[in-house]
Structure 1
Amino acid sequence: MGNSSKLSLVLIGLILGASLVACDDGRAGAQDAVKQLASAVSALDVGAVAFEGKDSGAANDQLKEVFKALAPAKPSVQAGELKLDSGTATVPLDYSWNIGTEQWKYTVSAQLKKSGDKWLTVWNPAVLVPGLADGEVLSSSNETPQRAAILGAGDVPLVTYRPVVNVGIDKPQLGGADAADSATKLARLVGVDPAAYATQVAAAGPEAFVAAITLREDGTRTITDGQISAIPGGRAIKDMLPLAPTRTFARALLGAAAEVSAEQIEKSGGVLKAGDTTGTGGLQQQYDAQLRGTDGIVVRAQKAGLTAEEIKAASPDPRRVLFRVEIKAGTPLKTTLDPKLQQLAEDVLGKVGPASAIVALRPSSGAVLAAASGPGSNGYDTAMLGQYAPGSIFKMVDSLAMFRNGMTPDSTVDCPATLTVDGRTFKNAEGYPASSLGSVTLRDAFAHSCNTAFINARDKVSQAQLESAATSLGVAVEAPSLGAAAFLGSVPGAAEGTEHAASMIGQGKVLLSPLSAAVMAGSVAKGAPVSAQLVLNPNAGTTPGTPSAAPTTAASTTAGSTPPGDAPASSAPAPAKTAGTPVTAAEAASLADMMRAVVTSGHAGFLASVPGAPVGAKTGTAEFGKDNPPKTHAWIVAVHGDLAVAVFVEEGGLGATVSGPLLKEFLTAAG
């Protein structure tokens, strides 16, 4: 190649290079600076951003002060299309904040100037919020809606706002008295731990009111205002709280609502804040979002340091509204609970020492009318969540399986005094009548609850047939309309030898809750499987993304409660989706015939005097534990017109003599 050719190539290269330099107008550098700015504002930290007219540290301090009221929220900031004009650039910044349940979106314009080989952001508070001036910050105020009510049958309020007094020590009113002495006296008066309360009062600030207890203002309060005010610093402050009719009314089922704790705030992921009321346990916790509603929130721009007094005195309001989230009241939770029957069930169980339960439902609709857990349950929802061997009430399932193998209530069965299976001896309950031993009708064996007769049928009734018959009666089947955490029963589909024999008398691995026992009885009254229903509007008014109703599972637990005694908290196998072979009207009529015989000729004769429709029943006594003689669960289920009831006592002796009288009292008063 000649020199002239080389020279031409050099010239071409110089020309191209010059044109490339001319095309580099600084856009790439400006875009990098904008990208850094958007990222820094998103993180609420612009300490590393280079500004014109403002020290980076001072700009960062101002940004944090401007947005302090929105903490812990941070914006998402995206840069739009950059416009370049010589040594300046403008770019839109699109902000998006999550404020409560809504998004606050706005766009501002940022300006950059080139200084040497660097692009600097021109500082202006309006780059943070449209129209924001120096010396202005944002403020945020919340308006919290009242918690919605929980309603019973006919929309009667069960949980609603009721008057209370918060009793405590108001430290500014101590008047020189010893705080520890006053705290100790008040604690003893109201029945709380004196040492713990005195420590709490000592730790509080000098202007604090330290609550010791909240008392209902419903005529049952025995501690008077005079007794409280007689203690230096003692004070009773009137308030309203969402409460059930009484302290114990359906407590395990409904749960409670109270001011949110620090732990609940932390676990809520920003949903809850100090001063909110939230649910703990039961329906209050499960449907918290529906009942709580959503706060109204107003974001304003205002002069830094503006006081509440200045705002009140000014006209017009010196603040300007930037964004508003409208307050949304919670939606009342509608349930099928009958307040009179629920209270009656609790009154009946009030004198029972061990864990206990009464569940009443309407077979025609599946509506749960009462689900009471007695005082011995210690706050656990025995009625809905208890998992217990059902004993002889499970003979209803055996009998259905036997009908399906060709038997009738008049078929003959063998009822020996004892029966040995694989080395284990089974016997009938204490006091079993000798006249009903030997060759008897299935009706008679059912009426007197002959264990050996039903175990004798084990070779003709497989474990799989038992499982199928149980689901036919609504046991261990999902209840999609229940709307509450519950144990729906568990019947294994496979068992052999003594375990299968034990299943025939409702022991082994067969487990029912009082709810599922009531469903079983109700399916007989209905002539079809009952699907229990408790909550009527489980999805109303819930916040998007917030689960409203926990799925009903085979076994689940209620927050803050522990199953007493023999009730396991572990999960049983999941219930079936639907009953495999629904009980027929004819099968149910045969079962109803035998349940009536329990009252007319069996050991539940005490129910014959219950007024109204004839009562059909089945008793059950289930052994548990390793004591000798073993402890027993006492069961009885009954149908009475369009009412099905299950009564359970955890350590109860015989079903007929322990749970039976409780059932009679309930049915007689229920009318």
Structure 2
Amino acid sequence: MGKRRRVAERQRRKTSPAMLGGMIAVVVGGAGFGVYALYGGGASADDRTHSASEHKHVKTGPLSATEVRTTAERFLTAWQQGKVTQAAAATDDSGAATTLLTGYTKDAHVKGVKLTAGTRTGAKVPFSVKGTVSYKGLSKPLAYDSTLTVVRRGSDGKPLVDWHASVVHPDLKDGDTLVTGESGTPPVKALDRDGRELTAAKYPSLGTVLDGLREKFGKVAGGRAGVELRVVRGGASTKAKLSDKTLVELSKGTPGTVKTTLDPAFQAAAERQVGKQKRASVVAMRPSTGEILAVANTDHGWNTAFQGSLAPGSTMKIVTSTMLFEKGLTSPDASHPCPKKYKLAGWTFHNDDNSEIKHGTFKMSFGASCNNAFINFAPKLSDSDLTKEAQQVYGLGLNNWAVGVPSFDGSVPVQSGAQMGASLIGQGGVRMNPLNMASVASTVESGTFRQPYLVSSSVDHRTLAKASRTMSSKTQSELKDVMRYTAAYGTAAKAMSGLGPDYGAKTGSAEVDGQKKPNGWFTAYRGDLVAAGVVQAGGHGGDTAGPIVASLLKMGG
């Protein structure tokens, strides 16, 4: 018996370490699985996976300085070393990043890239880019600044570069590409109406305009393409009417010549005026011909004056009044109150500063820009009346203007209920830009819609848009009456002081969600000259856009 016990004890001592070792290995391999195996007798694969996921910790909260810095370094280092896969993996859209970063070398032909990170600000890291564009024996240096932003991925909390094409180059929009090669479009030399060259160096606002002129007329102006690095627009940018952009010119092409309608004196004055405001845009034109004399924007990277899509506020009351006069619903001297409040389809509309006109005429309400004098006509109108008026008389919203460069032709959608009421005062779904509102004032001044243009249609034989009908001379006279009253005694009087008597104007203030001050609008004519402008987040149009417009009208009628 004693011998058998000693043998059994030796066997237990031999087997115990092996069993314990196996258990330890399981515990190290995964705490959740190990504990369950020891005390529960084992678990299925599904149980083990579920248990592990329940204990997985996903980091949340603001990014630390270290996370931002190391993520940026990982991305920039991999990009500089040409390790596209690694660089793309440091972003939250590896597919799009791989495509663009691969094209940076293969299509844009950028070599020897050196990336230098700047000082972090929160989750943003600025960086400089230096390299060389090389193509078929030609080369030019490339240098620019860009910025990346680090975000935390929701699924696992990992910090990654928030991917957008602008990370690679600030002029890129998502879907755009960089390409170096012989340009498909020859350069153009744009001339003003007096035959002198227009350059972005002399007129900074014309950068986007010159790009548009090249895209439209390069192939018909007689030039020859050169070799360049350029931004080639993708679908979204093309839909937004953005033009291709030259970044580096490796060899000059032979430019063709395109003469524009721009007046050098008006263009220079427009540039000076918008430079006095943070976000201003203005257009000047001749109502008798449709010729555009000047276009200027504070922001030189986007042509808000031609391509902006903004609620025009009370300047839209010109179109609304045209409709009301044509329908015989009112006249300038007709008695028409403007109540402090007006309810329509569940909405309560207020006038600016809660003002009201109890015993006044329609002309007084127009001049004071009293909203409810217009909205209270809504029950007498159909949903499509304003849309038809804008399209048929003013040529707006048909997407058929052929200005010579990309433009937005305004939008007055058919709406119902309260939204239709809001459209009557230039809110709701109505969208315009200074070019559109200059055209509206031009139509009033001349009595006929003439599509604005920057390059004569004789250059490329394009068809200019036409309105399907013309307002009557009676309606034109009524519109001039209310606009003259506004310029002399109404909200436009201060800006238009001394410009009469052959003049008319309308102010506008358009509320924008999340914006402390409204966009200020102003459109006016003086003889055979019209100007319209907007100052975004500027406040009342008479105080902000008004002086810009008036300064141009003072230059000649």
TM-score range, shorter chain: 0.5 to 0.7
- The answer for the alignment partner of 2:316 in structure 1 is 394
Of the candidates 443, 446, 456, which is equivalent to residue 526 of structure 1? 446
Distance 2:270 2:528 in 1: 17
Tell me by how many angstroms 1:656 deviates.
1.4
- The answer for the alignment partner of 1:21 in structure 2 is none
Kept after mapping to 1: 8 A contact 2:284/2:438: yes
TM-score (ref. length: structure 1): 0.48
Distance 2:140 2:402 in 1: 45
Distance 2:543 2:384 in 1: 33
1:346-378: CA deviation from partner (whole Å, max 9, x where unpaired): 110002112x2111110001111112122xx34
1:454-513: CA deviation from partner (whole Å, max 9, x where unpaired): 001111233322122223133335665522221111112x32111111011111111112
TM-score (ref. length: structure 2): 0.58
The reply to whether residue 366 of structure 1 matches residue 290 of structure 2 is yes
- The answer for the alignment partner of 1:465 in structure 2 is 385
Distance 2:442 2:325 in 1: 19
- The answer for the alignment partner of 2:523 in structure 1 is 637
Change (3 A) 1:653 1:525: same
Distance 1:253 1:448 in 2: 38
Count of aligned positions: 360
Kept after mapping to 1: 8 A contact 2:494/2:542: no
The reply to whether residue 350 of structure 1 matches residue 275 of structure 2 is yes
The reply to whether residue 665 of structure 1 matches residue 551 of structure 2 is yes
Of the candidates 380, 387, 397, which is equivalent to residue 476 of structure 1? 397
Matches within 5 A, 1:52-131: none
Matches within 5 A, 1:210-609: 210=141, 244-247=198-201, 249=203, 251-252=205-206, 255=209, 281-291=211-221, 293-294=223-224, 331-354=256-279, 356-374=280-298, 377-406=299-328, 407-430=330-353, 432=355, 437-471=357-391, 472-477=393-398, 482-492=403-413, 494-537=414-457, 539-540=459-460, 578-609=466-497
Distance 2:554 2:493 in 1: 14
- Matched-pair identity in %: 32
Kept after mapping to 2: 8 A contact 1:334/1:537: no
Change (3 A) 1:211 1:613: farther
Specify the code of the residue in structure 2 equivalent to 1:483: G
Change (3 A) 1:612 1:395: closer
Q: Alignment partner of 1:414: what SS?
A: coil
Specify the code of the residue in structure 1 equivalent to 2:480: A
Distance 1:616 1:345 in 2: 20
Specify the code of the residue in structure 2 equivalent to 1:594: V
Kept after mapping to 2: 8 A contact 1:625/1:631: no
Change (3 A) 1:486 1:208: closer
Tell me by how many angstroms 1:637 deviates.
0.4
Distance 2:304 2:225 in 1: 35
Structure 1 residues 421-430 or 390-399, which shifts more?
Answer: 421-430
1:289-336: CA deviation from partner (whole Å, max 9, x where unpaired): 23462479xxxxxxxxxxxxxxxxxxxxxxxxxxxxxxx975421211
Specify the code of the residue in structure 2 equivalent to 1:411: A
Distance 1:504 1:663 in 2: 24
Q: Alignment partner of 1:463: what SS?
A: coil
Kept after mapping to 1: 8 A contact 2:205/2:300: no
Distance 1:640 1:451 in 2: 25
- The answer for the alignment partner of 2:66 in structure 1 is none
1:188-217: CA deviation from partner (whole Å, max 9, x where unpaired): xxxxx99533x559x99xx9874769xxxx
Kept after mapping to 2: 8 A contact 1:607/1:615: no
Distance 1:653 1:612 in 2: 25
Distance 1:402 1:448 in 2: 17
Kept after mapping to 1: 8 A contact 2:188/2:258: no
1:613-654: CA deviation from partner (whole Å, max 9, x where unpaired): 532100011111245xx5411101001000111111121211
Distance 2:220 2:188 in 1: 17
The reply to whether residue 196 of structure 1 matches residue 160 of structure 2 is no
Distance 1:425 1:209 in 2: 62
Q: Alignment partner of 1:412: what SS?
A: coil
Tell me by how many angstroms 1:250 deviates.
5.7
Kept after mapping to 2: 8 A contact 1:521/1:637: yes
Which runs of 5 or more structure 1 residues have no equivalent in the other structure?
1-179, 184-192, 214-239, 257-280, 297-327, 541-547, 553-576
Specify the code of the residue in structure 1 equivalent to 2:531: V
Specify the code of the residue in structure 2 equivalent to 1:424: W
Kept after mapping to 2: 8 A contact 1:490/1:512: yes
Tell me by how many angstroms 1:424 deviates.
1.9
Kept after mapping to 1: 8 A contact 2:317/2:425: yes
Distance 1:583 1:347 in 2: 36
- The answer for the alignment partner of 2:533 in structure 1 is 647
Q: Alignment partner of 2:438: what SS?
A: helix
Distance 1:665 1:533 in 2: 22
Change (3 A) 1:474 1:384: same
Distance 2:288 2:419 in 1: 35
1:208-264: CA deviation from partner (whole Å, max 9, x where unpaired): 874769xxxxxxxxxxxxxxxxxxxxxxxxxx99673452626456545xxxxxxxx
Distance 1:250 1:588 in 2: 37
Kept after mapping to 2: 8 A contact 1:527/1:589: no
Tell me by how many angstroms 1:288 deviates.
2.2
1:4-48: CA deviation from partner (whole Å, max 9, x where unpaired): xxxxxxxxxxxxxxxxxxxxxxxxxxxxxxxxxxxxxxxxxxxxx
Distance 1:412 1:612 in 2: 26
Q: Alignment partner of 2:359: what SS?
A: strand
Kept after mapping to 2: 8 A contact 1:595/1:616: yes
1:414-448: CA deviation from partner (whole Å, max 9, x where unpaired): 2111222233221111374x5xx113211101000
Q: Alignment partner of 2:437: what SS?
A: helix
Distance 1:640 1:448 in 2: 20
- The answer for the alignment partner of 1:621 in structure 2 is 509
- The answer for the alignment partner of 2:87 in structure 1 is none
Structure with bigger gyration radius = 1
Q: Alignment partner of 1:359: what SS?
A: strand
CA RMSD of aligned residues (A): 3.7
1:591-624: CA deviation from partner (whole Å, max 9, x where unpaired): 0110010022212111443346532100011111
Q: Alignment partner of 2:519: what SS?
A: strand
Kept after mapping to 2: 8 A contact 1:414/1:456: no
1:557-577: CA deviation from partner (whole Å, max 9, x where unpaired): xxxxxxxxxxxxxxxxxxxx6
Specify the code of the residue in structure 2 equivalent to 1:586: K
